[in-house]
Amino acid sequence: MSAEIEIRPATPGDDERRDAFVQEVPGGSFFHLSGWRRAVEGSMRHRQADLIALEGEELVGVLPLMECRGLRGGRSLISMPYAVYGGPLATDGKVRGALLDAAAERARSSRVGRLELRLREEIGLDWPASDLYATFERELPEKVEDVRAGMPKKARAEARKARNKHGLELDEGPWYLADLVRLFHRNKRSLGSPGLPAKFFQAIGDENPGSVFVHLVRRGTEPLAAVMSFRFGETLCAYYSGTAEGADRAFSASNFMYLALQEWCVERGFKRFDFGRSRKDSGAFDFKRRQGFEPADLHYRYLLVRDSHLPSLNPSNPRTKILRDTWSRLPEWLTRRLSSPASRYLP
């Protein structure tokens, strides 16, 4: 006879076995790990609200969850903030249902605006949904030379030109973090969106040692592009990135960067490449398709408690255009300064 399922709040003392569970159970991701929670908690000051499920002494489920403040002072429970994947991980549907019931009860009793689950897979949850985003992932070949061969013809030609004609090179090391942050903020400003504080990028690396990589594309000594990636099992997820103004047009820097990054993965034994999330109406979405990746819908679900509608503060909402246009015209030094407090309220 199986033991009764117990759902309780997680504590830091649960982190080690919780992470082992996340690594083993289907559907786990880098963002389900306790290191992501600690990075967000320490640098963005959101409160952890993780739930775990137990059958007797055995850990059988995890729901990473954080309580986040919004721009207007409201609170939300999000799994997970600043992440593209989240939601419950469990050994079976019964455990998953118990985690979801407990999370819904917490959301209602805490009177938050919403409970948001950034689900990668459809789990049959009858809550309001968003179809705004897709993710991109594919198997890596066994041989380095087959990475370029698997790219569409035009992207392959651009990457070859970047390497052979323009002399672009890819380097890896944590000392390139400052270049990444600078280029990331410059790109976010041009898009009309706040960036993220440097301390958050630093915290991600500090809380996940050995699983965070920073790569820089350079032409001679000139930095052209950078990307921060995360290891989860045999998958590398390319996540935060930035490109110097004009570097794609003049040198095909992004084409080269993602070709070279996949080659780097193959050399080190990675089996899958996760290109991350993009809005379906965005240039990033089109770029990833031109690299030969096919989109897969993400299945975000929302339990609306005090909120009356789904979150809409994103570039797909035409009502945000005036905000984006204003932000993109501000001086770069000012957007860097304002991004740190603003990003806390945009999880």
Most confident of 252-256, 280-284, 338-342: 252-256
Residues 6+ apart with CB under 8 A from 137: 235, 272, 273, 274, 275, 293, 296
| Percent of residues, the chain, with pLDDT higher than 70 | 99
Q: Is the pLDDT at 323 greater than 70, yes or no?
A: yes
pTM reported for the whole predicted model:
0.94
CATH code, 104 = 3.40.630.30
Order of all β-strands in the sheet with 75-79:
47-48, 66-69, 75-79, 114-119, 299-304, 129-130
If one compares 281 and 166, the residue with the highest pLDDT of the two is: 166
- Max mean pLDDT range (3-7, 62-66, 193-197): 62-66
Count of Cβ atoms closer than 10 Å to residue 332 Cβ: 12
HSE value, Cβ hemisphere, 13 Å, CA-based, for 127: 22
Same domain, 158 and 72: no
Question: Is the per-residue pLDDT at 124 higher than 60?
Answer: yes
Q: Residue 313: its pLDDT value, please?
A: 67
Provide the number of structural domains found in the chain.
Answer: 2
Show the domain range for 290.
Answer: 135-296
Q: Which residue has the tokens 């890596």?
A: 140
What is the predicted pLDDT for the residue at 1? Answer: 44
- CA 130 to chain CA centroid, Å, is 17
206-236 pLDDT per residue, tens = 999 999 999 999 999 999 999 999 999 999 9
Q: Which of 80, 103, 127 is the last residue of a domain?
A: 127
Residue 200 structure tokens: 């958050």
Per-residue model confidence as pLDDT tens digits over 80-109: 999 999 999 999 999 999 999 999 999 999
Residue 327: the pLDDT is 80
Structure tokens given for 219: 């032409």
- Yes or no: say if 238 and 196 are a contact pair by the CB < 8 Å rule: no
Which of 296, 311, 339 is the C-terminal boundary of a domain?
A: 296
User: How many angstroms separate the CA atoms of 346 and 164, rounded?
Assistant: 41
Check whether residue 140 and residue 284 sit in a common domain: yes
What are φ and ψ of residue 14, in 5° steps?
A: -90, -5
Instruction: Look at residue 2 in the predicted model and tell me its pLDDT.
Output: 60
| 71 and 186 co-located in one domain | no
* Residue where a domain terminates, one of 277, 296, 315: 296
**For 128-147, what is the mean pLDDT?**
95
Per-residue model confidence (pLDDT) at position 319:
76
As given in the structure block, the two tokens for residue 96 are 């998953």
Contact 227, 180 (CB under 8 A): yes
Residues 121 and 142 in one domain: no
pLDDT at 255 over 70: yes
Bigger pLDDT: 179 or 307?
179
Whether the link from the prior residue into 66 is cis, omega within 30° of 0, is: no
Over the stretch 171-201, which tens digit does the pLDDT of each residue have? 999 999 999 999 999 999 988 899 999 999 9
Mean pLDDT of 239-256: 96
Sign, CA dihedral 326-343-77-281, equals positive
Higher-pLDDT residue of 34, 131: 34
The pLDDT score that the predictor gives to residue 307 is 87
Q: Are 147 and 170 in contact (CB under 8 A)?
A: no
